[in-house]
Every structure is written in structure tokens, then in C-alpha cells.
Amino acid sequence: MNSTPLPASATDWHTLEVENSLELLNSHAETGLSTSDADQRLQVYGTNELQETAGRSPWQILLDQFTNIMLVMLIAVAIISGILDVVKLQQAGGVTEGEIPFKDTIAILAIVVLNGVLGYLQESRAEKALAALKRMASPKVRVLRDSKQMDIAAKDVVPGDIILLEAGVQVAADGRLLEESSLQIRESALTGEAHAVNKQAKIALPEDTPLGDRLNMVFQGTEVVLGRGKVLVTGTGMQTELGRIAAMLQAVESEPTPLQQRMTQLGNILVSGSLVLVAIVILVGLIQSGWNWANFVQLVEVSLSMAVAVVPEGLPAVITVTLALGTQRMVRRNALIRRLPAVETLGSVTNICSDKTGTLTQNKMVVQWVDTLEHKYSITGEGYEPTGEFMNAGQKIDPQSNSQVKTLMFGSVLCNDAILQYEDGQWQVLGDPTEGALLALAGKAGLEQSSLTKQIPRVAEFPFSSERKRMSVICQQSDPNNDGKLENYVMFTKGSPEIILERCQEIHLGEGLEPLTPQLRAQILERNNEMAGRGLRVLGFACNYLAEIPNEGTEETTEQDLIWLGLVGMLDAPRPEVRDAVAKCRKAGIRPMMITGDHQLTAQAIAQDLGIASAGDRVLTGREISKLSQTELEVLVNEVNIYARVAPEHKLRIVQALQKQGKFVAMTGDGVNDAPALKQADIGIAMGITGTDVSKEASDMVLLDDNFATIVAATEEGRVVYTNIRRFIKYILGSNIGEVLTIAAAPIMNLGGIPLSPLQILWMNLVTDGLPALALAMEPPEPDVMERPPFNPKESIFARGLGAYMVRIGIVFAIISIALMWWAYNWTQAPGYTGDRDAWKTMVFTTLCIAQMGHALAIRSNSRLFIELNPFTNPFLLGAVIVTTALQLLLIYVAPLRHFFDTHWLSLEELGICIGFSALMFVWVELEKLFFRFYRRS
């Protein structure tokens, strides 16, 4: 055999007949490839492994942290400060006793390194999504080569290989089915389907058949749950559906979060503003005092202090800790945050694109309707728990009081291969979820599986197959007098309603049997279509009575002249708490949407039930999306809330279309097929219980309880976090503006020195600002937090009055500090003053620090006065104010600290004056609230 190239499109194999596929790949169904030909193809196509593109190295991630403009400015300040220290040391002839050289430089560089490390820790998480995809590949696979069966490594499988499948194995490559026997494959991780797919080999399908409907294909990473099959390998490695997902994952570029964008904007404005102010101060100083080296050095020192003052060194640490605290609160609400910025980002979500299976639904099939033609019963209860009621016209009905329903319930238990058991505090199904739902239904009717199977034991069966679309069991009757039938055996049959109905001649009506007329058949089919239109999966049930056990292979003749029992309609039922969660989303201005691989009728029924869509709303299918241009899709995403039968690339396109429309998108999912869209979304949310490793690694957040309602709780927490971040940014930057203006005023006022050293400013920015800022991050949520629209992700950090507030408060802060500085300077320079002449600098330092404590207390609320708030709703703030004030006093009155920070002893009178001036800050903010309250009323 010679190697031949694959078809141009790796997605067209489902359109070919078996013989055409074998011919195209030059393979043989009975002999497989020769070893030599397989080796040759391995060289041509490469190994059956997913390829990884190179990402940023750890060193590159670390170096990228120091490109932040604020850190670059601090590095420049540290270098210039070090040079000035060298000049001073040369002029002084060395280090004087007790002096600590370069302490400003060391302190600034320490802060730079700390911020760099914090940034590195946030970004250095290695991408593991591809590794999780790789783990889905089966390590060993059974193939047919040289006419012999052999087990080989999955990575050595090549196109043209014949692989053999059986229950329990994982599919190692994509392939075209050649033969199958009762083959069922669970593809939920890849397609989102809730139940196993019955495969069929002897069919060819249209080109635009969605992935979930390609019954003649198998896909890498899926699992065989029943039967066996023989497969022609058509795609390996990156040419598989799994490989296409891996390629999409690697093609998705991570965008900076709104918070990261806002911090970049903030840094640019602060640095630009500080440079302009530095230039003004130096220019005015030189004009005012003339050029000389000493004057220039002093102006440079002032500039360095201003540069340090303008950079909120503690802000990155405060934000990181705030986000970390937010993650802890979210974990308590069953939401695990994998990337810190996602905490704040949740507050900006405008659209939640949710998968259906296991996210909006319970991922458990639940019988909702039983229809015997005479009666229609709605069934209550949740999950697989066998407790619930049969309801008819709002009244509870005893199902065993109706012989037809009772017989149907017998069939639900006996024509069944699953086991329903109570384990680890919940009811679980061993076997097919559909059959598990039938056992739960029978349990609600008072029938217990183990006792019934002993009473009426199975003696023979005709198993389900994809061709027959039905299953029959023959059981021995304990009382052969049912319905006047004296036969010893009863046969129960279940399957496709249309196929079962074709084989029926009679029907249970009342307490007896009636001929199945064309009119009755039409009524049954109408009921079947009605259930299917609600998105239910419908099974038909029938029975017959036999005198003897039929021989194997006689199913076609035995499964005739059946007695129709009724229809059972089941659904992967919605989670009961999701309806309220959807309503909360809409109230909060968030639009929930469903994007699923399931059938459109099922999706529509669930979406309408949950309030995601209304009756008559349009459903967009994957087939329709494939025919739309991206521009056309961008228009439709504003109108459509339900997307069904979608493939991975469709999910990705939908998310991208929403983002193109300016929406901020959260995408939930649990399967491999969701991973690219999870990564593309602004917030990727994976399921913690049913989610695959791939979906979790591609996500920003994991729902520990797989509960859609948890997203609402996490969104609320995100809004609280962002509100608190804005609160402490107002606090920190308003203070910093006051510091900068105060420092800039000193040389202009000819006060004979700089009031604050870079080290003192670092102390204020890290400790005096930092501790209260962290406490402000603990502020509880406001009552209306989920009754307002999402934060605009594109809004500036200074939006909604924050910028004006910072400038206004900064100016007031500066006026208070400059007034104190002018008074203190004249006080300490007066002829009769007996204290340290430089004490005025410490008074300015202390006033700036303590004034910020008053600001922190007043800023808790934008509208309510401090006395109107319960101080103990945020005890952390009271603690931070007390601790910070005490630390500031230690710098003044503890000798080693006073020496290190270049502070001076203050008398009680001087300290009292500092506290008095500081209190003016608190008074001003409170008066502002009263003014705006009066202004809004008028």
C-alpha cells in the first residue's frame, strides 16, 4: 500500500460510504494496514498527539512586570536618589556616625521588587488546558495490522488504521465507522449531549450535519459505554475534533481585564501628571532662586519626593489582597476563582452564555409526563429520587389503581438494565440515565426494583440496537391470569414510539383491551408529537403474553401483535433554583443566554421554562450559524437567546460576536467543546463537579456546586469588590494628590527644606494609606447592589465622579496641609522656640498621616454621614485607624524609629495642633455630603 493524502476537508468523512472511505485511505477492513505502511504514514502525518505552541517563558513574564510605567518611574527615582546620596557622601567625605546611606534607594527598590513579584505570581500560571486535552488521549489502542489484532500506543495510530472498540475504552482518534453492534458512545464532553449516542455505520450523511448528529463517526476523547465497533481512522493529532479545539484554544489571546486596563490608564495619567508638575516646580524654583548647584540639588530632591508621592506604591498590594479576600468570600458561596482579576471583572458582566446540560439542568433525566391516551399524568419530583406524585388535572392519583398504568410501570422496571441505588447521601444510577429515570418513575408509583425482578424474573431478552430502536425482555409471570391471559410469560417492549406503535394491534382502555384503530393510532402519534415539541425525550411502551420462551434471533416475529401501554416523556430537568437566578440576572441588567449542543426543541423548552426566552422566540442552530457571515451573526446575537446543535467553533463565534457588540461576556460550560469559548470569554466559568479538566483549566472561575445560581452570587460579590476598589482608590489617590501639592508648595514658599523625605512618603503610601485601604475593601455590600446595571467595562477609573472627587479632596487636603506647614514653619523658626527647628517637617508628616484617618472614616459612604452608619459593620476600619495612628506616634516618640525615619520629637501642644488640623479633613468630607444631600433635594 502507498500512503495517500487526506481529503482537503477533514470534516467530510461522514458524507462518504464505507467503501469510499476505505478506498480513499487505501486501507482494508479485514486486514488493516501493513506494519511498514503504518510506519511510513507515521512519518508523513506525525504522531497522534496534540501539538503545543510556545508561550511566554517564566523569565519573560517576570521581566514584563517591570515595564509598568509606574514601576519604571520608581526605578528611575531610586537610581537618581542613589546618585544624589553618592554626591552627598563625597561632599561629606564619607558616612557620618549613625547615618544609614542609600536607605531611600533601598526602600524604593524593595517596593519595586515586591510589586514585580506580586504581578508575576498573578500571571505566571502555566497554561494547562492543552495538557488536560492530552490526558484525554487513550494510552493504548487495539488495531488491526497485517491481518492481526495488536495493542499499540495511541500516539502511533495513523490515518488508515483499523481500530477496534468495545465498552469501556476511550476512542483514540477520529474515525469512520465500518461496523457496529449496539454501539453507544458518550460524547457529552465534546458535543454537550446529555445521553450516549447510538452509532450507525451503514449510512452516509449530508455535508452540513452537526457534530452531534454524525452517527457514522467516532471522535477522539469520547468513551464507549455499550457495544462494539470497527473504525477506520480518518484523523489523528491536530487533525481530530479534539485537535481543532486545541488549535482554537491556542489561537485565543488573553485580553487584559477591565481592572488591568484601568490600572494602566491610571498609571499613565499619574506619571504624566507628576512629570509635568516636577518640571513646573523645578522651573519655578530656578526662576525664583536662580541657578546654583545647591538650589538645583534641593529642587531635584523635591522632585524625587513628588515622584514617590504620586505613585501609589501600596495600591497593587491592596488590590491583590482585596481580590484574594473576594475569592475567599466567593469560595464560601461555592465559586472558586482561578485568576484574581476575575473577581472584579464579574461586576461588569452583561451577558451570561450558559451551556444547558449540567449547568441549567440537573444532568439527570427525569420523567415528567406519562400518557396512556385515556389519561395524562404529570409527574413531580427531582433527580433520580424515587419520591413524587402522579398528578391528573391537579389531583393526586394512585398509579396502581389503573391497570394500564400499573402494567406500564412494570415494564419500566423489568425492561431495564440500569440499577438505582442510594449512595453517599444521594440516589445514583448505574447504567443509562434514561433507564435510571424509568426506575425513579416506578419508585414514585410504589414499585421496588429488587423485589419486582425476583417476583417476575427475566428469562430472555432482545437487546436494544440502533437499527431496531427498541428493546424487549421476556419475564416469567408469577400469576398468569393478567387480563384473562393464561400464558406463563409476559414480554415488555420499549423504544421509539413510532416503531413500537407499528407493531401494536391492541390497546389497554379501561379495564380491558380494545383494537388499535387508525383513529387511536393518530391520537397516540399526536400526543407523541406534542411531547417532543416540548423538548421531551419520548419512549413508547407495549407488552404481550407468550406461552413459551422465544428462540434467539426471532425478535422480528415475536415483537408483533403487541398491546400498547402508553408514552413516557422525560427531560433533563432544570435546576429548581435557576429560575430565580435568571430573574435576578434580568433585574441586575444581565442577559442570560443558552448555547448548547442539544436538540433545538429541548433547548427551547428548557429556555422558556427558566425565563431565558419566551414562546415564539427564535432559535439559531449550528447549521444556520455556519451559513452566516460574522457580520450577520453580530447583528443576530442581539436578538437570539437560544443556540442549539452548536459546534465548538460556533460557541467561539457567538462569544466573539457579542464582544464585538461591546458586550462583556461570561461563558459557562463543562465539556471539552466549551474550552475555546471559555478562554475567549471575558469570564470563563467551568463546572466543578461535571466539568472536564480541559474546561476548568481554560476558565477563570469554577462553580463548585455546578449551580447556575452561584454565578449570580459571584456576580454580586464582583460588584461589591469593584465598588470597594473604587472606594479605596478615591481614598489613596485623593491623599496622594494632597501630598504632591504640599511637597510642591514647599520650595515655592521658601521654607528652607523639603517637608517629606522619600522614605516618609513610602511609609505613608504603604502603611498610612495601605491599612485603611484594606479595611475599606471589607466594606459590606450596599442594599441595591443587584438592582443596578452592570459596570461599563470600558469606563475610566475616574468615571462617575471619582476623578472630580479625587482632585477636589486632594486640593482641600493640600490647603489644610500647606496652612499647617506655613504655621508650623513660622512657629518653629520663631526666636523664642526652644525645640528642634526642623520639627515643622514632622508636624507636616504627622498631619498628613492623621488627616487620612479622618478621610478613611468619612469615605465609607458617599451619601450617609459617619454618625448615620453602624461603625461595627466594618470593625476592620476602626482597627486600622487605631493601629495606623499608633504606628505614626511610634515614629515620633520611639528613638530608633525616629532616627531611621528622620522625624523629630513633638510636644503635646504641637501634636494637638496636628490633630486639630487633621480633623478638618473629616469635617470637610462630612459637610460635602450635607451639601450634596441638600442640593439634590432642591
Calpha distance 793→815 (Å, rounded)? 35
CA distance 741 to 749: 12
User: What does the alpha-carbon distance between residue 363 and residue 367 come to, in Å, rounded to a whole number?
Assistant: 13
Q: Running DSSP on this structure, what letter comes out for residue 126? A: P
Q: What is the DSSP letter of 373?
A: S
Local structure of residue 649 (DSSP, 8 states): H
Q: Distance (Å, rounded) from C-alpha 14 to C-alpha 214? A: 6
Q: What is the DSSP string of 227-292?
A: EEEEEEEEE-GGGSHHHHHHHHHHHPPPPPPHHHHHHHHHHHHHHHHHHHHHHHHHHHHHHHH---
Residue with cell 492481526: 148
Neighbours of 186 (CB within 10 A): 17
List strands edge to edge, sheet with 351-354: 335-337, 701-703, 683-687, 665-669, 351-354, 591-595, 642-644, 619-621
Are 441 and 367 in contact by the 8 Å Cβ rule? The answer is yes
Instruction: Please state the φ and ψ torsions of residue 871, each to the nearest 5 degrees.
Output: -65, -20
Q: Are 384 and 427 in contact (CB under 8 A)?
A: yes
Say if CB 264 and CB 65 are below 8 A apart: no
Say if residues 730 and 356 touch (Cβ distance below 8 Å): no
Q: Point out the catalytic residue in the list 37, 104, 213, 355.
A: 355
Helices 293-310 & 258-289, crossing angle to 10 degrees? 160
Give the strand pairing for 426-430 and 223-235.
unpaired
The partner residues of 152 in beta bridges, in order of sequence, read 141
3-state class percentages of the chain: helix first, strand second, coil last, to nearest 5: 50, 15, 30
* Residue 397 near residue 390 (C-beta atoms within 8 A): yes
Helix (H, G, I), strand (E, B) or coil at 326: helix
Q: Which residues pair with 540 in a beta bridge?
A: 495, 567
Residue of 856, 855, 851 whose CA lies nearest to 877: 856
Is 355 one of the annotated active-site residues of the chain?
Answer: yes
Give the three-state DSSP class for 650: helix
Dihedral sign of CA atoms 672, 674, 678, 679 in order: positive
Q: What are the grid coordinates assigned to 58, written together?
A: 517564566
In whole angstroms, give the CA distance from residue 665 to residue 831.
69
> Which is nearest to 805 in space by CA: 725, 866, 865, 731?
731
Instruction: Show Cβ contacts of residue 798 under 8 Å, excluding neighbours closer than 6 positions.
Output: 804, 806
Sign of CA dihedral 648, 653, 659, 663: negative
User: Alpha-carbon distance 363 to 372, whole Å?
Assistant: 27
Strand 619-621, strand 642-644: pairing = parallel
In terms of DSSP H, where are the helices of 461-587? Answer: 497-502, 518-533, 555-558, 578-587
Does the CA dihedral 311-313-314-319 come out positive or negative? positive
Rounded Cα distance between 384 and 433, Å, is: 9
Sorted by sequence, the CB contacts under 8 Å of residue 606 that are 6+ apart come out as 356, 360, 361, 535, 571, 572, 574, 594, 612
State the DSSP string of 447-476: --HHHHHHHS-EEEEE---TTT-EEEEEEE
Positions annotated as catalytic residues are 355
